[in-house]
Every structure is written in C-alpha cells, then in structure tokens.
Amino acid sequence: MHPFAYEAPGSIEEAVALLDKHGDRARPIAGGTDVLVQARANRWDLDAIVDVKNIPELTQISHYPDGSVSIGAAVPCYQIYEDQKIRDAFPGIIDAVEMIGGIQIQSRASLGGNLCNSSPSADGICPLIAYNAVCHIAAPGGENSHRDVAVEDFCTGPGSNVLGRGEILVSLVLPNPGDNFGAAYERFIPRNEMDIAVAGAGVSVKLNDAGDTFEAARVALAAVAPVPLVVPAAEAALVGNSVSEATIEAAAAAAADAASPISDMRGTIAQRKHLSGVLTRRMINKAVERARG
C-alpha cells in the first residue's frame, strides 16, 4: 500500500480542491469499508485520502416540506435505518441499508459510498433507482459549481462512474414518491447475512387509486450486468396493466431475459437469470403490498 496523507476538510470547496489537485492519486473516504480494502489491495497508488465526514452537507439527512429527502453521501447505514421518517416513507431503502455488511460495517458504510464504489452487486443502488433518486455532485470551480445526475445514469462500468476529476458526491435526493407507491429490494445470497448479492432486484410501483392497475414502475437488477441494470421491458410490461399474476409474471420474464450476467464463484449465468425473474416477481408483489398500505 502506498503511504497516503490524511486530509479531513470541513467544506465541500476544500474537499473538491484537494481531489482536483491530486486527481487519480486521491480518493474520498466516508466509511472506508471499500476504499481502505482496495487501497491495501493496491488498486490505486494514493497520495491522499480525503475524509469527508467533517463536511456538514455530506453528513446530514434533510427532510423537506414537499416530502422529498436528501441523504448526505457520507451518512452511515445505521443513521438511515434509525431515521423513522425514512423508514416510513422509503422502506425500499431500508431493505438495503439493513442488509449491507454486518453491524460493524453498517456503523461506517454509507449509501453514497455504496454508489460511488459502483459495484454491479451493490445492494444500495437498485433501490435508489426504484425511488428515482438523483445524485447531487459538486465540481471544481467555486461554490456554485455542481450538477445533478440520476442514479440510474451514474455507474458506467464495474467500479467506474461519471465522477470526473475533483468531483464529489454530496448527497442523494429522493423525491416524494406520492400516494399509492411502494418499493422493495431483495437479494439472493447463500448465507443469511454478510454476503455479496448473487443477484438482486429493486422494484417500485405506483398504482391507481383503486389499487388494481400499475400506473408507473421501476425495475433494476443487481449483479447481473456490468452496472446495476434498469429493465425498461419489465417496467413496460407492468404500466397500464392490471395487478394480476399474469402481468407480474410477464415483467419477471422480461427481467430474466434482460439479465446478462457472468458466471463466477458466486453463481452461474443460468442461476442468475433465473434469480432475476424470481426476485423481480417477489419484489413487485412486495411493492404492491406496500403501495396498498
């Protein structure tokens, strides 16, 4: 491991300046549960680690009057699942943050870090897509230099994403899902806890007032493509159709069809495609249950 310096700036501007100065030879750190492991594995030669936990915007959860929520990129999992308002309004996010690692990891690991690590198997990314979450990104060039990117457009490959030199993920903004909305995330792992998804599915649905027709849907799959995979065909199979076994089965089949996994130590292509269908079906049913309250 390359001996790196430790920086703990107190503002976004300072953090961005440090990251801009060092380029590829610096990484931001929140919980460190991915970055420190990868630094030790010599994935990068780092001159500096930039600890972002002293920056207020990255460490706060803000609930807005319009029902949206902003989750600071460095907020650890436990602060998310101990937030009663997030539990009530965004249970699909809770599904993920309660299953990432064990208790020790949840004390440190953040949802923003899970996204920035950009692993296709990340548990946090698919439910963010299901909630149509947006990344608030700060860039070099002064206080007002920032941009917003939809979470579904953030990852560009295994371990890579749209963040450019000096850019930093500040927060994740989840819009108010509104009425008759439900979302859920589940993964398959051979253990009960502390494992990486063989496959996962994050789903959201919006039903009509009667609760018998899909008005909108999001379907995203984990660990079955180079990036968390949005499945428009599965969404299209739901929207406008009645909440029925046949409709849901068609969406599940579309998810299994869209999955393009690899075979590795965790599972085979056939197993992962099968799991994509099963998990999608189950998560649609769970999302419907939550949408109906």
Partner 1 sequence: MTTQVTPGPSRVHVRTTINGNSHEFLVPPYMSLLDTLREIVGLTGTKEGCLDGNCGACTVSLDGRIVDSCLVLGAEIDGKSVETVEGMATSEGLHPLQQAFLEEAALQCGICTPGFLVAAKGLLDNEPAPDEHRIRHWLAGNLCRCTGYDKIVRAVQKASAEMA
Rounded Cα distance, 205 and 219, in Å: 9
Q: Are 47 and 22 in contact (CB under 8 A)?
A: yes
Q: How far is the CB of 227 from partner 1 (least distance, A)?
A: 24
Q: Residue 56 CB, nearest distance to partner 1 (Å)?
A: 16
Query: For residue 113, what are the contacts with CB-CB under 8 A and spacing of at least 6?
Result: 30, 31, 33, 34, 35, 73, 74
Q: Which is nearer to partner 1, 47 or 153 (CB)?
A: 47
Least separation in angstroms between residue 40's CB and partner 1 is 7
Report the sign of the C-alpha dihedral through residues 19, 144, 153, 190, in that order: positive
21 vs 274 by CB, closer to partner 1: 21
- Report the alpha-carbon angle 204-208-213, nearest 5: 75
Dist. CA 275–CA 190, nearest whole Å:
12
Residue among 26 and 207 whose Cβ is closer to partner 1 = 26
- Pick the closer one to partner 1 by CB: 3 or 178: 3
Tokens 């990129």 locate to 73
C-beta of 54: minimal distance to partner 1 in Å?
A: 10
Q: Could you list the residues that contact partner 1 (CB under 8 A)?
A: 1, 3-6, 8, 29, 31-33, 36-37, 39-40, 47-49, 51, 53, 78, 101-105, 107-108, 192-194
